[in-house]
Amino acid sequence: MLKVIKEQLNLLSPTATELATSTSPMFRFEIKNIQKNTSQTIILQNLSTHTDRSDLFELTEGVGEEIELDKGQYSYEIFDADDTLCEVGMLRVYDLNDEEVKAYNVAVINKVYEG
């Protein structure tokens, strides 16, 4: 499942290149709100330098005119430039102040004993 936090830069790491038939780094994401049955489409560039392992996309939700998603659960499909379906999955959108987000963004302080 991909995690998107509203109004900030999100790094998404699916494995879209594995099934792609095109060599273009551009991929089309079709994101469907499960509850509202509405869809949005966005084109993102694969930024990964290690596509044999995984891909890397930057998505800035709610900033500018890139894409605006309501909090909740979505399904997504990723297509390459040849319209080949490369990945299907689930995506969840959180507000920055959600408890689930806070639990994973706790500052870690390591103290090293220097005897």
Q: Is residue 75 a contact partner of residue 91, using CB atoms and an 8 Å limit?
A: yes
Q: What is the per-residue pLDDT across 38-65, written as a single tens digit (0 to 9) for each?
A: 999 999 999 998 888 789 999 988 766 6
By the 8 A CB rule, do 61 and 5 touch?
A: yes
pTM for the full model?
0.81
Q: What is the pLDDT of residue 111?
A: 62
For the domain covering 2-104, report its CATH number.
Answer: 2.60.40.10
Q: What is the pLDDT of residues 57-90, one digit of tens each?
A: 999 887 666 788 999 999 999 999 999 999 999 9
* Pair 78, 19: CB distance under 8 Å: no
